[in-house]
Amino acid sequence: MIRIAAVGDVHFGDDSAGSLTPHLNAIWKKADVLLIAGDLTRHGLAEEGKVLADELKDSPVPVVAVLGNHDYHCEQQNEIRSGLEAAGVTVLEGESTVLNVGGCTLGVAGSKGFGGGFTGACGSDFGEPEMKAFIRHTKAISKTLCERLSALETDYRVALLHYSPVQDTLLGERLEIYPFLGSYLLAEAIDSAGADLAIHGHAHGGSRKGVTAKGIEVRNVAQPMLQRPYTVFCLGSSDANSETAASSSRVG
């Protein structure tokens, strides 16, 4: 069994120092790895990323993260990534990593993802060049995600995203913004490659649980929705993808 702690949208700023550390000290008792589903910073500043990196550098479990839309805002995403990696965090963008956990292997394929909408109400790469670029960006990201997941030869495989691959986990958000919260192309990539679980953030007002067309479980772990430091999923337990609460406290 592998225990995965997960959270997204921690939105660290200059005043966030010390807010996460107390919840990480004993995380090893509840989880084997921590996955962070994007929006690591508030405004995409390298200084904000440094605050989070300082919190994570002494984590007792491996930390794997993807960036979110906030982390790109000031075009300092490379600096944010470098700072986190210097602290020992594995940051993925169209990449994958393999972790050895208690005799099992966990493969994580990660990407920010992007928008576009869902079947019946989605954009297409037709018309103006700006619209083509928007949807083709999502198509390229989805293609790479599929390739990285497919290449993982591990006991368990997880897709780590910021944008949602399904609309189920967006319930509670305004319908008008669904195209900016995720894309069905991400779910098609996950279904094509296969995975044990897909995790995303971004939908602060969304819902916790969803499923792809082929039955792969999807979980929204946006911290504003969780209202806790993280949640824990157990892969390989008798109750597959079972979820346990970590704490009622909030961080970030």
Question: Does residue 198 form part of some domain?
Answer: yes
Domains held by the chain: number: 1
Question: Does residue 251 form part of some domain?
Answer: no
**Which residues have CB under 8 Å from 191's CB, separation 6+?**
212, 213, 214, 216
Q: Which structural domain range is residue 179 located in?
A: 2-245
Question: Does residue 20 form part of some domain?
Answer: yes
Task: Tell me which H or E stretch contains 150.
Answer: helix 129-151
Question: pTM of the prediction?
Answer: 0.94
What is the CATH classification number for the domain harbouring 55? 3.60.21.10
Question: Does residue 252 form part of some domain?
Answer: no
Whole-number Å distance between alpha carbons of 22 and 32: 17
**Which residues have CB under 8 Å from 235's CB, separation 6+?**
1, 2, 3, 4, 106, 156, 158, 196, 197, 241
Distance between the two ends of the chain, CA-based, in angstroms?
A: 29
Partner residues linked to 109 by β-bridges:
96, 159
Question: Does residue 122 form part of some domain?
Answer: yes
Sequential pLDDT tens for the chain (252 residues):
999 999 999 999 999 999 998 999 899 999 999 999 999 999 999 999 999 999 999 999 999 999 999 999 999 999 999 999 999 999 999 999 999 998 899 999 999 999 999 998 899 999 999 999 999 999 999 999 999 999 999 999 999 999 999 999 999 999 999 999 999 999 999 999 999 999 999 999 999 999 999 999 999 999 999 999 999 999 987 554 456 533 333 333
Are 230 and 245 spatial neighbours (Cβ–Cβ below 8 Å)?
Answer: no
Question: Does residue 168 form part of some domain?
Answer: yes
Question: Does residue 250 form part of some domain?
Answer: no
Question: Does residue 140 form part of some domain?
Answer: yes
Which of 64, 82, 78, 73 is closest to 7 using CA atoms? 64
